[in-house]
Structure 1
């Protein structure tokens, strides 16, 4: 699709922030809509250990699958590091805390190892997320210790 709306970095950042807040709010945006409304029809989202979801239907399935494992999540908005490029691409790096079916986690808490640290790479055009690649350790409960012996120390 040809882009028709010019956006500033701050406008792209506001779309990404709305997505993160909706994720914390069980998939409901600040206007009461679905988180999926923030995505273009043919958007792509990548999540570790799930893979690549293309289109709103697959993205909805991914979020449903992830949501079934998370009891709660909160992103630490005050500590976000935004990398704005003046193009459709921007990056948000941050931390989170919450409860997973395997237990509680908080970034920086040693028993949670790397849980809670993340970075999202977005492409946002025409006020819709076109692409969101999520980089994090999906082992929120630090259960995968057999393959990483230093986690048992």
Structure 2
């Protein structure tokens, strides 16, 4: 597949996730290598389902600013830098665009037409509730 086709598959993934369409799984290889902070690294589509169940229990909705993505391709890899947001299960909207800006980076690697590796780099504290670290990094605390 050429780079435009790979990018098209990645965009399709984000659109399916935003729509809550479980057929996003069809875009992945059976032995996909997956990483997400605080979830860890796991292999296989079952890991994606488990991750989806876990994160889905904390979210009412999620969106990605697909039009604003910065996309880089290298061989069989597609790297996406972007912004996301949504609503937590308690009704809290994020990002707050103060501490939390919803920035993420996802790296996709392909074998043929399937995503064989997806590593997501994001602060999973979507609604900025980790006050201890926020106060240290913002300079409010002298810990």
Verify same fold: TM over 0.5.
yes
Tell me the SS of whatever aligns to 1:129.
strand
Matched, 1:101 2:76: no
Show the 5 A alignment for 1:1-153.
7-28=1-22, 34-85=23-74, 87-101=75-89, 103-106=92-95, 109-110=97-98, 113-149=99-135, 150-151=137-138
Q: Is the 8 A contact 1:53 1:62 kept in 2?
A: no
Superposition misfits of 4+ residues, deviation over 2 angstroms: 150-153
Contiguous gaps of at least 5 residues in structure 1: 1-6, 29-33
Q: Is the 8 A contact 1:115 1:139 kept in 2?
A: no
Tell me the SS of whatever aligns to 2:49.
helix
- TM-score normalized by the length of structure 1: 0.83
Structure 1: distance between partners of 2:127 and 2:85: 11
Tell me the SS of whatever aligns to 2:131.
coil
Q: Is the 8 A contact 1:115 1:138 kept in 2?
A: no
75-84 vs 143-152, which moves further: 143-152
Structure 2: distance between partners of 1:66 and 1:100: 10
The 1:121/1:58 distance shift into structure 2, 3 A limit, reads same
- TM-score normalized by the length of structure 2: 0.89
* Deviation of the 1:106 alpha carbon: 2.8
Q: Aligned Cα RMSD in Å?
A: 1.7
The 1:152/1:142 distance shift into structure 2, 3 A limit, reads farther
Q: Deviations over 1:109-148 (max 9, x none)?
A: 11xx234100100101211100000000100111101133
Q: Deviations over 1:48-83 (max 9, x none)?
A: 111112101121111111111111111111110000
Query: How many pairs does the alignment contain?
Result: 138
